[in-house]
A and B are shown apart, each in its own frame.
Chain A
Amino acid sequence: MRRVRSHLSRLVRHPLAQAALVLVLAAISPLLSDGSVQILCFVLVGIIFAQSINILTGIAGQISLGHAGFFGIGAYGAGILAKSYGLEFYLTIPIASALSAAAAYLLSFPAGRVREVYLAMMTLGFGMIFFEVVREWNDLTGGTMGLPGVPSASLRTLTALGRPVGVATYFVILLLATTLFLIIMNNITRSRIGRALFAIHHSEIAAGSLGISRSGARQLAYTLSGAAAGLAGGFYAHLVGYLGPDSFNLHRSIEVLVVAIVGGLGSIPGQIISATIFTFLPEKLQVFAEYQFIVYGLILTFSLLVMPRGIAGLLLDPPRFIRSAPRTRAGRGDGPPVPLRPVAARAPGGVVLSADGVTMRFGGLTALDDVSLALAPGRITALVGPNGSGKSTFVNVVSGLYRPSVGRVTFEGRDITGKPDFEIARAGLIRTFQDPRLVPNFTVRENLMLGAHRLMRGSGLAAALALPSATDEEANVLKRVEAVLRLIDLEAVADQPLESLPYGYRRLTDVGRVLLAEPTAILLDEPAAGLAEPEMERLSKLIRDMRGMGISVLLIDHHMDFLSDLVDDVIVLDSGRVIYHGSMAGMRQDKTVVAAYLGAEETVDA
């Protein structure tokens, strides 16, 4: 089965096979009956629509129960422009797509404020509002009577530049548009943009720590998804010629969700297969139409349990998120892998990062009480203290997850107090979390690529069209990934999905990812927790390498043996206060520290 799957995957992903499929479809379409070509057109519309929800839900992880709304905006947009303003379809369809993208962009703002079940309800609400508006706005949409008379390829009423466009010609145009759309989508998912969308899908907080703006990524996902749904809707309008509100109700939204889930969320070829099946089945199988609701219901109830990765998971290898062109270029071995560059931090007065009088209160609880510290370039500072002493809270304040109640955080001479986490990460102050927060279905290499996100500048256009500039940039990052892989000694498993690897490897990937960001300062929150002895040695070497590059390191940990031959300074926190600041040796002698860890001897008056 595994071999069949890998052969099938190679065939499906081979550019020649893809081109052959498109050419064959284009070549045979004139030989088919109009009815058959029309069904093929519906298949293509279905594919684009399914990819639309795949972008939003499968890739960016934002559920939508109102996707028929975007589809409908595209369809009615194109229909009204053609019917009332006499525009021809090569204009109406792109405009319809843009309208739907604009609506999705606007929806992303309220939607960005809610998660999970609330997001499901909000999108459901959006779909219902669209449906109600279409049904009641008689003057514009024809209300419940619908909008007949849209120039249609099937009804032979479609013309362009004074010449009739039959359904066969329409099919070829639609085929070209679909192909172009799929190429762009394929490129985007395997670029820094696509990887960022997967990152917010898996952990928004981790994505922020890599310099990915959550709201920016979400807005992009909505806009792209809306554009795709609008494109599908526009083509749909000029295919059928009649638009009625019932084609855009909740059932349509549920249907496209069924198609996407069965195809396999996150998989592009899976959606193509699934959309094809679900368009043909009701056409060819009368029984299916009769039991449609029951079948959809059964699929939705059980498919995520029985077949969580859908058809794609069954038939194909999981998708990868780096294109092969930059990989071959990076692997061609022109010279040794690029060494990691030393950093040149701006450190006014020898201080890269400083916290001044930071106090953090949660309601009545004071988690940090007037904490001040300074990190110098090329020095490792340990932050230790009993559980609950405020170590992680401090890291959360500095990295921008919490805004301190009082106090100031300065990084490279700039005040960063209360700045959002992704801006702080972009500035070059990178952190890790107590639990490694990586994308589990990404390989080690792909996870490392995410680390370099803050440094990558390639435009969306370059990524979408896979322009040479994008390939160059990816290849350069891949060379640095190679260097980091060597440093963390994970070259052998570089192309295995992270979820299949043991914990220690994930932890090393997590710390290695920080290096790819080329940070000036690093905050490591208990990186050695749960590591075996040899892995701990590798980690300690890695942290020394960081120091060697001139990076300032703040290291939270409990293992005193691990820390003692590694760190330059120690800061001890207890109940949110700094109780010691100095050398490791001095700490062991310090009475307050010993008391905080072991408990003070009570002096009893006799």
Chain B
Amino acid sequence: MDFLFSLLIAGVSVGSAYALVAIGLNMTFWTTRTLNFGQGSLMMLCAMLTAFFASQGVWLALAAVSGLAVVGLLGIFIERFAVRPALKTEGSMGWMVATLGFGTLLQGIAAKYFGSQAVAFPEVVFSASDTVTIFGQPAALQYLVIFVLAVGLVALLELFLGKTIWGQVIRAVSFDQELGRVQGMPVGAIILLSFVASSVLAGVAGMLIAQIGGTVDPAFGFDLVLLGFVSAVLGGMGSSVGALVGGIVVGVLSKLVGGYISTAAEHGIAFALLMVMLAVRPQGLFARPEAVKV
């Protein structure tokens, strides 16, 4: 029973981390219907830079903020140079390849200048040994923090999108950019901001996950972003609640499979879930199917 419980706690926690990644992917999907295939490299870079600054003796909070600032700026770069030009061409091939390429580029640069070895990640917010007791079971504090953060973020985003005028503007932009522009909405700025927000969120998720694992290496974000995809697709692209539920399902399922069947199958089961979900219900659990215009 204790074993099951600890698996569930761990599953919910990593699932919340996947949900953060998925929400980051969703943000650009809302405005441009694009996903940043290089999101994993932003997670890696933010964690890597924080660790690097900290190792140079920079005050920890400042190191973390600097890391976030860099990936935020890269978000602008990605929108401006990888996505915006590609959106002018037909089909999705252009931006998929360009964002994938930019992620590969960042990974290559990180490997070149920080080496391909794992780097120890400093204790930014809390210590790995901090625990709290839930239902009489000890659970790592950092697990709880990620979960609370993910739930809080989803609640905020739901309120923002549903209740505020800017939320409606974002929905309008995602529906028809041209119409938004004609109505005087700052479409360009909204799109740019969505990429910055998406990148910063990737950075935050990267730091939190690096904190749990304790280390970060150039290939660090890669599996995470794939699992973020799985979570986003499972919940339905663009849905915040879907991302949270999808993330937790993926997290719990892979931990259960890892705990009771084989740790080797942990990731495989998530990818299998992705393929089945795409084949059976591509719109996910929480989104409505898109109407196809003939």
* Residues of A near any B CB (own CB < 8 A): 57, 61, 63, 65, 109-110, 113-114, 116-118, 120-122, 124-126, 128-129, 132-133, 135-136, 205, 250, 254, 257, 261, 290-302, 304-305, 308, 396, 401-402
Contact = CB atoms under 8 A, between A and B. Distances in A.
Nearest to A421: B294
3 nearest interchain CB pairs?
A300-B101, A297-B105, A293-B108
A136 B279 contact: no
Interface residues of B, number: 46
B107 interface: yes
A65 B93 CA distance: 11
A205 B293 CA distance: 11
Contacts of A133: 268
Given A293-B111, A297-B106, A305-B85, A122 B274 contact: yes
A396 B35 contact: no
B94 interface: yes
Interface in B188-203: none
Nearest to A61: B91
B278 A110 contact: yes
A128 B35 contact: no
Contacts of B81: 301-302
B112 interface: yes
Interface stretch (B46-54, B158-166, B177-185, B259-267): B259-267
Interface in B248-280: 262, 264-265, 267-268, 271-272, 274-276, 278-279
B124 interface: no
A251 B2 CA distance: 40
Interface string B98-115: 101111111111011000
B96 interface: yes
A297 B104 contact: yes
B151 interface: no
A294 B113 CA distance: 12
B229 A121 contact: yes
Given A117-B92, A295-B108, 9 more contacts: A124-B226, A132-B268, A136-B268, A291-B112, A298-B101, A302-B81, A304-B93, A304-B98, A305-B94
B220 interface: no
14 contacts: A110-B275, A110-B276, A117-B35, A121-B229, A124-B229, A128-B226, A292-B108, A293-B105, A293-B108, A294-B112, A295-B108, A300-B101, A300-B102, A304-B86
B279 A110 contact: yes
B275 A125 contact: yes
Given A110-B278, A300-B97, A293 B268 contact: no
Interface core residue of B81, B93, B104 (most chain A CB under 10 Å): B104
Interface of B: 34-35, 37, 81-82, 85-86, 89, 91-94, 96-98, 100-109, 111-112, 222, 226, 229-230, 233, 262, 264-265, 267-268, 271-272, 274-276, 278-279, 282, 294
B266 to A, nearest CB: 9
Given A254-B104, A261-B97, A292-B108, A132 B282 contact: no
B101 A296 contact: yes
Contact of B278 (A114, A129, A261): A114
A295 B109 CA distance: 10
A295 B101 CA distance: 9
B97 A293 contact: no
A488 B112 CA distance: 61
Nearest to B276: A110
Contacts of A304: 86, 89, 93-94, 97-98
Contacts of B278: 110, 113-114, 118, 121-122, 125
A250 to B, nearest CB: 7
Interface core residue of A109, A113, A117, A133 (most chain B CB under 10 Å): A117
Contact of A114 (B86, B94, B229, B282): B282
